[in-house]
Amino acid sequence: MGTSRLVNLNRALGALAAASLAGCPGLVQGNGFRLLSQDAFAAARGEAFAATADNPSAIHYNPAGITQLDGHQVRGGVYGLYFDPTFRPPAGASGAGRTYHIDEQYAVAPQLYYTYGNSDLPFTVGLGVYSPHGAAVRWPQDTGFRAVATEGELTYIRINPVIAWEAAPGLSVAGGVMIDYAEVVLQQGLLRNEGRIPDFYRFEGDDIAVGFNLGILWEQSETITLGATLRSGTTLGFNGRTSIDQRPFIRPNSVPASAEFEFPLTAVAGISYRPNPCWNFEFNADWTDWSQIGTVTIRQAERPAFAVPENVPVELEWKDSWVLKFGATRYFDGGWRASAGYAFNENSVPDGFYSPTVADLDRHIVSIGLGRDCGDCTFDVTYQFGYGPDRDVSRSTSPSAVARFVSPNAADGTYDFVSHGLLVSFGKRF
């Protein structure tokens, strides 16, 4: 692809990201920075949907499921989230006894899906536009860990065309292409305590990447259905600039820079049990290969200033983790349905290089939802409550060596979180 075409594609995807994800601070609801919820009905079932996958959001949850859909179908939704991670410094530290909150705690993220299937053909096609990852965390300057991190933002949009094939009655397989665009911002102070004169180190960059997703759905019997999906990892080589300011010692300057980041492979397997047409129970096991994320190096075109290396390693060393999902739906007369679900989300960030911009910890997510099929239209509304019990971080080391005078164990302390989410999805058949 020519340079001008690549630049134009970056700009087009950047505009699409800005339009679809504008005003989305704080979007972190999965492990690491995954955004698990991509549909109101699936979220109501605790995200246990890989073996049901019976609406257009199956493009994300299990693309093989779209063979269950006939004609033209469009489904769109909005995920609104209040997200409140908190930090309490350890005894004896500056700020001990205080509770710190991030600056902005509200987020909105949309999703849009389209499918087309013809009952005379074994193939169904679909297209999804959604955000599988996202984060924007900005901490106050007086937490005690400003030289570790003060700000982290990730805007991520995926365009996902898929095709599914009903290979045999009750057995479908699917594959798709994931075209991903992402922007990242990382910032930290150069000194542990904020002074009257600004001091910071900041990296900003963006890139596009291509991956794939696969799915299989097997209706083993009238009561048992099995489903699985795999989403490949992607490598984004963020290209942008670093900025640094520590007057009067370092005058403000900015240099071209890049950083290659591995986004993880995910795999989900599920089983749905339907004892009768009124009930659907499902369990999913969702695995993320976070161990792909080791050391990310910010490579600068030139050494920006005294005491700042030309190549800045950022030690992350994350670990693989699981999300266990349970869900149930009760179907009623008149097209009504009610769902409830629970998900346990295992943390993926070890204490050793803990970053407050991710603030990862074990999470429990409980959800309830109501929906209805009204002829050619359908809707779902879901409430989601998330809770992360206290995580005590100790013996941490700053992931980045840019800052000077960083106290040992600067990110140590107690982290927890609470979230409230509201998801609304509407669908139309043509």
Q: What is the CATH number of the domain that holds 275?
A: 2.40.160.60
Least confident of 201-205, 304-308, 314-318: 304-308
Contact 200, 187 (CB under 8 A): yes
Q: How many beta carbons lie within 10 A of that of residue 175, not counting itself?
A: 15
Q: How many beta carbons lie within 10 A of that of residue 407, not counting itself?
A: 16
**Burial per residue of 318-331, b for 16 or more beta-carbon CB atoms within 10 angstroms, e otherwise:** beebebebbbbbeb
- pLDDT exceeds cutoff 90 at 314: no
What residues have CB less than 8 Å from 365, skipping those under 6 apart?
29, 36, 46, 47, 342, 343, 344, 345, 384, 385, 386, 387
Q: Report the half-sphere exposure of 228 (CA within 13 A, side-chain side).
A: 5
Give residue for tokens 């900025």: 243
Determine the pLDDT at residue 408. 64
- pLDDT exceeds cutoff 70 at 86: yes
Determine the pLDDT at residue 2. 45
Determine the pLDDT at residue 250. 72
Q: How confident is the model at residue 1 (pLDDT cuts 50, 70, 90)?
A: very low
pTM comes to 0.89
Q: How confident is the model at residue 401 (pLDDT cuts 50, 70, 90)?
A: low
Distance CA 421, CA 47 (A): 13
Q: What is the pLDDT of residues 103-155, one digit of tens each?
A: 989 989 999 999 999 988 999 999 999 999 998 899 998 888 888 888 999 99
Least confident of 72-81, 204-213, 244-253, 280-289: 244-253
- Which whole-number Å values give the CA distances from 213 to 63, 179, 209, 263, in the listed order? 8, 11, 13, 14
The boundaries of the domain holding residue 361 are: 3-429
Distance CA 66, CA 127 (A): 11
- Give me the number of domains the chain comprises: 1
Q: How confident is the model at residue 13 (pLDDT cuts 50, 70, 90)?
A: very low
Determine the pLDDT at residue 144. 86
**Please, what is the average pLDDT of the chain?**
89
Q: What is the pLDDT of residues 15-44, one digit of tens each?
A: 444 333 333 444 445 566 889 999 999 999
Section 63-87 average pLDDT? 96
Closest CA to 185 of 159, 150, 157, 158: 150
Determine the pLDDT at residue 31. 61
pLDDT above 70: percentage of residues in the chain:
90
Determine the pLDDT at residue 193. 73
In the three-class reduction of DSSP (H, G, I as helix; E, B as strand; rest coil), residue 9 is classed as helix
Determine the pLDDT at residue 10. 46
Q: What is the pLDDT of residues 143-192, one digit of tens each?
A: 888 888 889 999 999 999 999 999 999 999 999 999 999 999 999 888 77
Determine the pLDDT at residue 311. 87
Determine the pLDDT at residue 194. 74
- pLDDT exceeds cutoff 60 at 47: yes
Q: What is the pLDDT of residues 331-360, one digit of tens each?
A: 999 999 999 999 999 999 888 888 888 888
Top-ranked range on mean pLDDT: pick from 61-75, 89-103, 391-405:
61-75
Distance CA 157, CA 21 (A): 8
- Which whole-number Å values give the CA distances from 348 to 60, 268, 297, 316, 362, in the listed order? 22, 17, 20, 10, 9
Determine the pLDDT at residue 399. 76
> The tokens of 201 are what?
């180190």
- pLDDT exceeds cutoff 80 at 361: yes
Give residue for tokens 């991520």: 156
